[in-house]
């Protein structure tokens, strides 16, 4: 049995592809071997072999013109990038940069969600919505209601949902 509160997604389904990535915890801006390196906090780097590479220009010449992307590597597997390469730059003499592994959506995709919206009187409210390419599809959002006085299964999104103890606006338990 699962418990949710109003606003929580209780079901999601998607059909887009994902790629291995790393999210940089803190930012990094410094000169390394006469190249300015600028990696913003929260930057997403995509996996490329043993490296994780930025998706935009993060290396700059002294004059300020972009040189290219940076590829970072965690050589000892401790969750800290400790090697950087890109353009004419290969270095290990910079402060380790913490990151976390993640997966990011790539290309186009489609997602469906069912959200619990709470209880009002004897009626439980749910919301169904669809997204295409991470953009909400306004014509594909629908508010749903379920009468709690007539308990029984709800047939939604190809599944059967059983609501239990949804008598308050705080929690909904389902199987």
User: What pTM was estimated for this model as a whole?
Assistant: 0.57
Using the 3D structure, point to which of 68, 90, 106 is the last residue of a domain: 106
* Tally of residues, the chain: 175
> Is residue 25 domain-shared with residue 91, that is, in the same domain?
yes
Residue 160's DSSP bridge partners are 155
State both tokens at 103.
């997966």
Q: Are residues 148 and 164 in the same domain?
A: yes
Q: What's the rounded mean pLDDT across residues 19-29?
A: 90
How many structural domains comprise the chain? 2
pLDDT for 130 equals 86
Q: Dihedral, CA atoms, 103, 109, 110, 111, nearest 10 degrees?
A: 10
| Residues 102, 41 share a domain | yes
The mean pLDDT of the chain is: 82
Integer Rg of the chain from CA: 23
Whether residue 88 is found in the same domain as residue 37? yes
Distance of alpha carbon 127 from alpha carbon 114, whole angstroms: 6
Q: What is the pLDDT of residues 3-17, one digit of tens each?
A: 677 888 877 777 777
């Amino acid at each position: 049995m699962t418990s949710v509160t109003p606003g929580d997604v209780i079901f999601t389904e998607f059909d887009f592809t994902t790629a291995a990535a790393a999210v940089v915890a803190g930012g990094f801006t410094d000169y390394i071997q006469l190249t300015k390196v600028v990696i913003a906090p929260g930057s997403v780097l995509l996996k490329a072999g043993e490296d994780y590479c930025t998706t935009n220009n993060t290396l700059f010449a002294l004059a300020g013109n972009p040189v290219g992307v940076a590829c970072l590597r965690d050589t000892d597997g401790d969750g800290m990038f400790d090697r950087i390469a890109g353009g004419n730059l290969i270095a290990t003499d910079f402060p380790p940069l913490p990151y976390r592994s993640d997966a990011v959506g790539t290309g186009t995709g489609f997602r469906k969600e069912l959200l619990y919206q709470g209880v009002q009187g004897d009626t439980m409210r749910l919301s169904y919505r669809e997204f295409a390419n991470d953009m909400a599809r306004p014509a594909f959002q629908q508010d749903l209601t379920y009468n709690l006085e007539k308990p029984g299964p709800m047939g939604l999104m190809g599944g059967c949902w059983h609501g239990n103890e949804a008598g308050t606006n705080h929690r909904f338990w389902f199987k």
